[in-house]
Structure 1
Amino acid sequence: MKRNTVKRNVSLALGAVLVFGAVPAYAADAVTVKLNGSQMEFDVNPVIENSRTLVPFRKIFEALDCAVSYTKENGAQVVTANRGNQWITLEIGKNEITVDGETKKLDVAPKIVNGRTLVPLRAISEGLDCTVDWSADTKTVDIQKKQGQYAVTSAHISKNITDDKGNILITVAFEYPVIENKDNNAFITAVNEQYKKDAEAAISEAEAEFKDSAAAVLASEGKNYHPMVFTRSFEVSLNQDNLLSITQLDYANTYGAHPNTLKSSKTFNLAENKALTLSEVLGKNAADTDSYVKEKFDAYVKETVGELLEYYQQNSEKALSAVNFCLTEDALVLYYNPYDILPYAAGSPEVKVPYADTTIKLALSES
């Protein structure tokens, strides 16, 4: 009787393998994940499959300063994360990762374990320009993300806006920067508070402006409806010499002709506790700054999209005040958002001016 039971159990196990495929072998020993030396805690333990470590997606993406969303599209479960201009997309059960439009194969697919979506740690981290080391002796993954003079972390706000029946109309996934403030600097405190207030206000505005139209689309589309999506992320382009330049990116998909991404930047001189204007960076007065910007974009349009010169000329004068700028390690970047001076198809016009250009006088602190 006992022998027959053993045979029956073996047969059932073989049948399960034939029907469902090979059962993944998760590591029994605990895996430790460290980010810049600090151990991360997860509500579902990391696991190893095919020599790859998988971790809960939201925790790792948010720790790496990404805004993240989880959607269902035509039966597929899709994870999307972005940090500034960097975008990562994964589909549950599919051995692929798309990083900034380039799709690559994965050794192991994202999967759901104990009600949590797990994603491959190394592929995610390296896709976001981090270095990853593995210690087999201690079963420790050590992730290092680039840091500058000031530690800038991210805070997150996620919200599902629903109708009276609980249907999700709008999904919001916002992240905003938090500048380290060990000395309780009043200026940094004010900057951090303003970023938070701006995020909260943007969410309220999205709900007020789009909830009714989202409900109307739901009524029309029925089961084919996908919630409208709003995300906010940021990137730090300069973090040295007491200068901190942060660009915020707002993405919106509201069932229009196409999704929209708008950028805005702020540059701070933290030695002098102030936000810098473009005039201060250039060392010019307001009128000369406008002339400088117009000269740069006149040349840009003629060289890159000359066929749109007439459109540009009709919009350039009134758009001067809409110019944005940020600083990188080697250049001043001037840019406009789509529609400011050129049609949507022309993207976000951008001019990079190397610091070697003697017309630039950066307001660098001597301290």
Structure 2
Amino acid sequence: MSTKTRVVVGMSGGVDSSVAAYLLQQQGYEVIGVTLKVWSDSCISHSQEKCCGPQSISDARLVAHRLGIPYFVLDEAEAFEEEVILPFVKAYQGGRTPNPCVLCNEKMKFGRLPQKAKAWGAEYVATGHYARIEHTAGGVLLKRPKEERKDQTYFLFRLERKTLDRMLTPLGDYTKEEVRNIARKAGLSVWDKEESQGICFVPGNQYGAFLTKRIGEGKNDVGQIVDLSGRSLGRHRGIEFYTVGQRRGIPGGQGEPLYVLTIDPAQQRIVVGPWEALHQTHCFLSETNWQQQPPPTPLSVTVKVRYNYPPSPARLTVLSEQRARLDFESPQAGVAPGQAAVCYVDDLLLGGGWIERPTDEDQEEVTP
């Protein structure tokens, strides 16, 4: 019987998760590879390979064979539909801009895999995320990785401390180039595999086409596109085809570029305005999750209001168990309801929450 510590590695068929499995094996762990199959075979297009589709599973199986580790495929298509895709569609229908990768990590990768790991007697679950997890005497810490450009901690803010306690992220101290070199030297066939881009279940990042297929063209009543004064500039075919900060699809001829400022689902109305009007001085967060409990008094943090946005200085005030306020040092553009705002102190991730839609009560809220 093996005395090695057992770890279940989520393998997507890409170079990152493959190298994660290899590194843990080299460190002496007993590694089990697992792929969560999140698409039914009938949904896989021969021309559009999806995340964890046939080719990805084949690539992961080849890597597992090369490493000599057990490998399993778990069919989680039904759960993925319920936990990730349906909330994604409903969010757009409600005038919000969702981030399904956060939900996928919370509900699928670190919701499903730990259950299987426990059943198999594994102590840890590991992935190819670029993040650093430090297990200290004072508790577990989630920190930014060595390569800031590849930082994926934003997607992990919903994870609870008990999940982080049983989690490993071996790529945190490597750059992408170093990871590819490790894979090449180890003889892993995926060492030069192209990196996946965008949301895995939206082919070609064509959100409009995906939502049209899911919702149906014209099922929602079309509404008005108005400027800040309430003047109608035209009509739209559904609020689900717009997001805060968007410029494309806005009527022209106004003398300056216009951007989506707010989306009103009750009125089915899109409010647009100039770039300057897009900037917000503060926002409120709901369903907050704190991996490191912030103090009750205001705290200086850096915050990312979208994954691909740079961190920005702000003041965090916890208002209640699941609600907080952020006051930005410099006004921020593209603060979109439904997106995540994730807070850091230096490299340490504190936690975050979902950005709320601005309301008239914002001005009545006592400024901290």
- Give the TM bin, normalised by the shorter chain: under 0.3
TM-score (norm 2): 0.26
TM-score (norm 1): 0.26
Higher normalized contact order (CA 8 Å, seq sep 6+, divided by chain length): 2
Which structure: larger Rg? 1
